[in-house]
């Protein structure tokens, strides 16, 4: 194990791309996207010389935290956190009617800045590579068997409303909340047995060129759509496919290519809007991935200013500490700000940790995530566990919009981490070469 202190030569080119990414994000929000969610509080972002200078500094800092190439599971987690959470909290902060004066140096934005920094610095801990003779192939069969059994269970239990129809997705979501109630055994079985498993199984199928696991991943997404009306797994599937294909061919992914893709995708929405006077890309992707989360962080900031710390009272942790079990924070915000008890205002794990215990909660949860990053890097480098890559992707995509306790327990990430630790083969021999850079 060693601490990487080397300054990457690609730091400045990557910083320049981050700067362009942030500027394009603000321009797209102000010109093409914010009005799509204005009815729920989205607004334009004020732009002046001071803000542009701040974006330049932020871009350089993000480039420092990121690796120029994604080589390890930790690199993947950090890059995704920065590509998604930083625009939400530190670029589009204040672009809403709930906390229009939000500063990146206070409240929820500062919580995100501190949390992402801690996770990014944890990823600077590297390990010497060692060879291993086991890739987990035998254990994937067990994982697939459990997954198939859960899929059958979900289909049988949801036969009354199961459908692939697009227009009925929200009806299926409402019905699924009753059939697979949160906190119930059936809810945990359905969530862990699919959402924790299919990213790993699908990634294995893409990377190992296995048609069985590839189509099993597709089947999971269709079942989740038919039973729960969930669109999110489709996005995860596409992301896994692109990342694993590139990773399989090149053994690493350049951060610059992800930035080029993100910038190009934003500009494609602009072109579509200019040609057709409406953009599905802006409405279904840019709005959902950036504008809505940014607005909800404004909701979280407003909620935090009007309420005392939640103290994890909506989790098992709070119950064990003697607190009376409260409604989930995301629903508390729906009631408090929107006066809608059915509105689930999901925000990222750092914002939730701030609402739970202010910056102490951020320190605790970001340190935990940093520990998971170190563990995944260790299993990947020292135990040859390729499965650490899709588990890292699963972990990162979940904490982008859920609380950490929910991700670790309800989404099955704890199960997958335990699975990785149990199947990781002992190193056969130490590598004698230079440290991995």
pLDDT in tens, 75-125: 999 999 999 999 999 999 999 999 999 999 999 999 999 999 999 999 998
Domain co-membership, 317 together with 296: yes
226 and 82 share one domain: no
Q: Does residue 288 share a domain with residue 199?
A: no
Q: What is the pLDDT of residues 267-283, one digit of tens each?
A: 999 999 999 988 999 99
Whether residues 396 and 274 share a domain: the answer is: yes
In whole angstroms, give the CA distance from residue 16 to residue 402. Answer: 30
Residue pair 74/376 in contact by the 8 Å Cβ criterion: yes
Q: Look at residue 136 in the predicted model and tell me its pLDDT.
A: 63
160 in the same domain as 24: no
Say whether both 27 and 160 belong to one domain: no
- Alpha-helical segments (H) within 48-180: 49-65, 73-86, 107-122, 137-157, 169-179
Q: Which long-range contacts (CB under 8 A, 24 or more apart) does 4-13 make?
A: 4/124, 4/125, 4/126, 4/437, 5/124, 6/437, 8/67, 8/68, 9/68, 10/68, 10/256, 11/60, 11/63, 11/64, 11/68, 12/60, 12/63, 13/256
Neighbours of 38 (CB within 10 A): 15
Q: What is the pLDDT of residue 78?
A: 96
Q: Per the structure block, which two tokens stand in for 282?
A: 């802006």
CA-angle at 57, arms to 256 and 22, nearest 5°:
50
Q: Report, as ranges of residue numbers, the positions in the chain whose pLDDT lies below 70.
A: 1-7, 130-136, 183, 319, 425-437
Q: Locate 244 and state its tokens.
A: 């694993």
| Contact (CB, 8 A) for 109 and 93 | yes
Instruction: Give CA–CA dist 429/437, Å, rounded.
Output: 20
Supply φ then ψ for residue 383, to 5 degrees: -115, 0
* Geometric angle at alpha carbon 16, from 13 and 19, rounded to 5°: 155
Is pTM beyond 0.85 here? Answer: yes
Determine, yes or no, domain membership for 275.
Answer: yes
Same domain, 256 and 400: yes
Instruction: Give the span between the Cα atoms of 109 and 190, in whole angstroms.
Output: 34
Which of 200, 219, 250 is a domain's end point?
Answer: 250
Position 437 in a domain: no
CA angle 172, 295, 107 (to 5 degrees): 125
Indicate whether 435 belongs to any domain: no
- Ramachandran quadrant class, 292 (left: phi over 0; alpha: psi -120 to 50; beta: rest): alpha
How many domains in the chain? 2
Is 341 a domain residue?
yes
Name, in order, each residue with C-beta under 8 angstroms of 69's C-beta and a sequence gap of 6 or more: 75, 252, 253, 254, 255
pLDDT of 247? 80
**396 CB contacts (<8 Å, ≥6 apart)?**
76, 77, 80, 81
Are 285 and 313 part of one and the same domain?
yes
Tell me which residue of 97, 101, 116, 87 sits closest to 23, measured CA to CA: 87
CB atoms within 10 A of CB 137: 13
Per DSSP (E only), the strands in 231-287 are 253-254
pLDDT computed for residue 437 by the predictor: 38
Last residue of a domain, one of 200, 233, 250: 250
**Three-state secondary structure string covering 123-137:** CCEECCCEECCCCCH
DSSP 8-state code for residue 4 = -
pLDDT tens, 129-186? Answer: 765 545 567 778 888 999 999 999 999 999 989 999 888 888 898 888 888 887 688 8
Q: Give the structural domain span for 400.
A: 2-131+252-409+416-430
- Return phi, psi of residue 118, to 5°: -65, -40
Distance CA 370, CA 74 (A): 9
Both 36 and 141 in one domain: the answer is no
Q: Where are the beta strands (DSSP E) in 240-399?
A: 253-254
In this structure, the answer to whether residues 246 and 256 fall within a common structural domain is: no
Of 198, 221, 250, the last residue of a domain is 250
Please enumerate, as own/partner, the contacts of 191-194 that have beta carbons within 8 Å and a separation of 24 or more: 191/410, 191/411, 191/412, 192/410, 192/411, 192/412, 192/415, 193/146, 193/147, 193/149, 193/150, 193/151, 193/153, 193/154, 193/412, 194/147, 194/150, 194/151, 194/154, 194/220, 194/223, 194/224
**Residue-level pLDDT at 243:** 82
Burial class (CB in 10 A: 0-12, 13-18, 19+), 83: buried
H helix or E strand, kind and range, residue 189: helix 185-190
């Amino acid at each position: 194990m060693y601490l990487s202190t080397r300054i990457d030569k690609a730091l400045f080119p990557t910083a320049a791309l981050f700067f362009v990414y942030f500027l394009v994000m603000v321009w797209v929000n102000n010109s093409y996207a914010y009005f799509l969610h204005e009815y729920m509080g989205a607004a334009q972002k004020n732009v002046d010389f001071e803000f542009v200078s701040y974006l330049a500094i932020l871009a350089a800092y993000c480039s420092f935290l990121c690796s120029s190439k994604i080589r390890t599971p930790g690199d993947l987690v950090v890059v995704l956190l920065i590509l998604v959470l930083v625009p939400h909290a530190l670029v589009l902060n204040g672009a809403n009617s709930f906390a229009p004066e939000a500063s990146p140096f206070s409240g929820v934005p500062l919580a995100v800045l501190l949390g992402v920094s801690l996770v990014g610095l944890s990823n600077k801990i590297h390990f010497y590579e060692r060879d291993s003779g086991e890739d987990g192939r035998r254990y994937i069969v067990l994982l697939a068997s459990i997954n198939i059994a859960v899929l059958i269970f979900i289909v049988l239990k949801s036969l009354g409303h199961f459908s692939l129809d697009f227009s009925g997705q929200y009806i299926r979501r409402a019905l699924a909340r009753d059939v697979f109630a949160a906190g119930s055994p059936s809810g945990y079985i359905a969530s862990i047995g699919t959402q924790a498993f299919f990213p790993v199984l699908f990634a294995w199928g893409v990377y190992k060129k296995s048609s069985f696991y590839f189509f099993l991943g597709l089947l999971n997404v269709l079942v989740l759509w038919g039973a729960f009306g969930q669109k999110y797994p489709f996005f995860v599937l596409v992301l896994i496919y692109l990342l694993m294909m590139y990773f399989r061919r090149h053994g690493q992914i350049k951060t610059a290519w992800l930035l080029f893709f993100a910038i190009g995708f934003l500009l494609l929405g602009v072109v579509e809007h200019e040609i057709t006077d409406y953009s599905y890309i802006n409405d279904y992707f840019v709005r959902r991935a950036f504008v809505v989360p940014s607005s909800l962080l404004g909701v979280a900031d407003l909620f935090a200013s009007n309420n005392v710390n939640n103290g994890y009272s909506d989790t098992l942790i709070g119950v064990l500490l003697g607190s009376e079990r409260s409604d989930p924070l995301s629903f508390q915000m729906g009631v408090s700000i929107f006066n809608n008890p059915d509105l689930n205002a999901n925000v990222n794990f750092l914002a939730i940790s701030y609402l739970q215990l202010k910056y102490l909660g951020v320190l605790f949860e970001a340190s935990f995530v940093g520990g998971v990053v170190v563990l995944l890097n260790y299993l990947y480098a020292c135990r040859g566990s390729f499965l650490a890559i899709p588990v890292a992707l699963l972990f990162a995509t979940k904490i982008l919009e859920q609380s950490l306790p929910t991700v670790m327990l309800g989404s099955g990430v704890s199960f997958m981490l335990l699975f990785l630790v149990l199947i990781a083969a002992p190193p056969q021999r130490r590598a004698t070469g230079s440290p991995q850079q």
